[in-house]
Structure 1
Amino acid sequence: MTKNKSEYLETTGETPSVEQLEDILHAGQLSCNNVDEMWPNLFLGDMYMSHGRYGLWKLGITHVLNAAHGKMCCKGSDDLYGTTVKYNGVPASDLPTFDISPFFYPSAHYIMKRSYLVSPAKVFVLCAVGVNHSVALDFAYLMIYCNYTLVDVILKVKERRWIFPN
């Protein structure tokens, strides 16, 4: 039995090429919800879900990390959520040329600190559509603090959600 590219990369630990990563990203889920739980207490989603205080309350969300803070459609603040949800915004432009990498470590630290030190915290990471910048910050957290490889992270997240980071 022959392994597909993603299984091969996952088992060999080789550094994938950009083309191989794109192939993995194009496979799997073709749709997503407004919010999906990626890992226990870590949710990924879009601006629609972020504006629904009741929906966040039903999920038990205690912290919001907005990877598109400041955009007209993704404005957020502590005032928006009241006293039950803490807010953190990353001023990212939703363009393919925007470099979100300076926010990897601060955002990963924010998720880690909330996910494990403030029990039972639930963190919701969002961007406008929930498939790009929020995914990049989710990946950063899983790679930095959970020691997953990029291929592992892509495959795990794609089990639950359609994604396509720039």
Structure 2
Amino acid sequence: MSTLKDKRKEYLTVKDLQRVLDSCKLQLNEVDEVYPKIYIGNVAVAQNKAALQNLGITHVLNAAHSKRGSKGNQSFYGNSFVYCGIPADDSTHFDLDVYFKPAADFIHRALKSPDGKVLVHCIMGMSRSSTLVLAYLMIYRHLPLKKALQTLIRKRAIYPNRNFLALLLDLDLQLTRKKKKTCQIL
């Protein structure tokens, strides 16, 4: 018979995730390949078209697309890159989860295109961009949240804010429930 204490161990908390993130000893770089053909970077590298071409980037997902954030758009990138902008705020009240699926779909399409490589960026490349890449890994690569976090921190110093971690926990729970339902049907 499982106890309440055992039940609590089954579910991750934001604090648990922050402990995983705190275990990362990497320095923050301008850009890092965090998963095959997926790069996370800052706004400086995102606006350096020569650097993007040297990396072989074909798609740019801007998680800070706004007047105050990063002002990228398709006309800036021209025909060299496919651009997608998400007007996200790195705040404790922004509902980034409404963009999880569209961002994951954009990354997935980018990777399916010939020689596709995608840069996901925000201002510093730590919170918004990493949250969207984590959502992609969970939705399309079927990684549980903790495993996705561990995968990324081996390659880049990231730190999604508490709100985004909570939204990712919700996504993790939804995907786990969906997986259990699918297994029961089979």
Match of 2:56 in 1: 60
Q: 1:83 matched to which residue of 2?
A: 79
Q: Deviation at 1:17?
A: 2.1
Name the Cα RMSD after superposition.
1.4
Counterpart residue identity of residue 89, structure 1: G
Structure number having the greater helix percentage: 2
User: Unpaired runs of 5+ in structure 1?
Assistant: 1-12
Amino acid at match of 1:141: Y
Alignment partners' CA distance in 1, 2:110 and 2:14: 32
Cα deviation, 1:115-165, whole Å, max 9, x if unaligned, reads: 12x121111000011000001100000000000010001101000111110
- 1:8-157 aligned at under 5 Å gives the runs 14-116=10-112, 118-157=113-152
Q: Distance in 2 between matches of 1:24 and 1:46?
A: 22
The alignment of Structure 1 onto Structure 2 pairs a total of residues equal to: 153
Q: Which runs of 5+ in 2 are unaligned?
A: 1-8, 162-186
Output the CA distance in 2 between the equivalents of 1:73 and 1:17: 30
Distance 1:96 1:66 in 2: 19
* Divergent runs of 4+, >4 A: none
The TM-score with structure 1 as length reference comes to 0.88
Letter in 2 for 1:91: P
